[in-house]
């Protein structure tokens, strides 16, 4: 900070040793220190008005953190649930009794932190042609270089890259929009992201807008690279090959 009268700049630090959602933000300890020299007026200001502003920021931070944390939801499979129940059976005399069956349980999700990925790409292709590359089995297999399952209808299955990517089609508007229930094979079991692909035609080009919601935070970079390297770059190569063949 700068002392107004002298114009001198002074450096200090702020330490928050006990930030926790279990404690009230107003009770959060905030330690202020500064380097040797003048500038006590700044230190005093940080201890009063500065501390109030810091706590306001912490309150918003914790609120945002909780929201981000609860966006993702993983539901256990029935098989896993059955295994857990088998381990909890109670033995009475010579009989084994199940306290409850998997079907009668209310499945409770396990929350994980998730993120949303937004990407925009321009392709030298009409929207209808680009749309078909995502919905035609032969074209998907060409750019992915792997056998694929492509059932391009609502509720239809999707499987690509030797099973590393799977899901289903949730919405299809020809030449305009595709919505997928989508996951990578290394994600937590039964966890899916929602992928929306919007095709915006611009003369001979198309802007593809991707929104991927519910990506596990720990897989953000790998998911972004998957779309960029395995989808977009390979689709560009396929489009160029098609153009070369026509010429």
Taking only the tens of pLDDT, the chain with its 247 residues reads 776 666 677 777 878 877 766 667 777 787 877 776 666 777 777 778 878 888 888 877 777 666 655 454 444 444 544 554 444 443 434 433 343 444 433 444 557 899 999 999 999 999 999 999 999 999 999 999 999 999 999 999 999 999 999 999 999 999 999 999 999 999 998 999 999 999 999 988 999 999 999 999 999 999 999 999 999 999 999 999 988 887 7
- CATH number given to 114-245: 3.30.530.20
Please give the pLDDT value at position 97.
Answer: 39
Reduce the DSSP state of residue 217 to 3 states and report it. Answer: helix
Please give the pLDDT value at position 14.
Answer: 79
In the 3-class helix/strand/coil scheme, how is 19-88 assigned residue by residue?
A: CCCCCCHHHCCCEEEECCCCCHHHHHHHHHHHHHHHHHHHHHHHHHHHHHHCCEEECCCHHHHHHHHHHC
Phi, psi of 161 (to 5 degrees): 55, 55
Please give the pLDDT value at position 108.
Answer: 45
Neighbours of 133 (CB within 10 A): 20
Please give the pLDDT value at position 234.
Answer: 97
The domain limits of the chain are: 11-68, 114-245
Please give the pLDDT value at position 102.
Answer: 40
Please give the pLDDT value at position 37.
Answer: 66
Please give the pLDDT value at position 101.
Answer: 40
Q: Which two tokens stand for residue 202?
A: 């611009």
Neighbours of 167 (CB within 10 A): 19
Give the separation between CA 4 and CA 177, rounded to whole angstroms: 57
Its pTM stands at 0.56
């Amino acid at each position: 900070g700068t002392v107004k009268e002298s114009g001198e700049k002074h450096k200090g630090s702020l330490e928050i040793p006990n930030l926790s959602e279990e404690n009230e933000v107003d009770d959060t300890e905030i330690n202020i220190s500064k380097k040797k020299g003048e500038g006590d007026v700044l230190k005093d200001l940080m201890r009063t008005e500065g501390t109030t502003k810091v706590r306001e920021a912490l309150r918003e931070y914790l609120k945002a953190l909780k929201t981000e944390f609860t966006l993702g939801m993983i539901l256990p499979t029935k098989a896993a649930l059955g295994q857990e129940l088998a381990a909890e059976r109670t033995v009475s005399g010579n009989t084994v009794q199940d306290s409850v069956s998997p079907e009668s349980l209310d499945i409770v999700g396990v929350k994980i932190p998730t993120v949303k990925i937004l990407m925009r790409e321009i392709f030298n292709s009409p929207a209808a042609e680009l749309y078909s590359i995502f919905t035609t089995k032969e074209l998907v297999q060409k750019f992915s270089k792997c056998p694929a399952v492509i059932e391009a209808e609502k509720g239809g299955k999707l499987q690509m890259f030797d099973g590393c990517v799977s899901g289903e089609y949730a919405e299809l508007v020809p030449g305009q929009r595709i919505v997928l229930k989508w996951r990578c094979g290394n994600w937590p079991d039964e966890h899916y992201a929602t992928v929306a692909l919007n095709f915006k035609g611009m003369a001979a080009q198309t802007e593809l807008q991707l929104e991927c919601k519910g990506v596990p935070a720990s897989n953000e970079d790998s998911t972004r690279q998957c779309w960029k390297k395995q989808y977009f770059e390979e689709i560009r190569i396929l489009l160029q090959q098609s153009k070369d063949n026509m010429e």
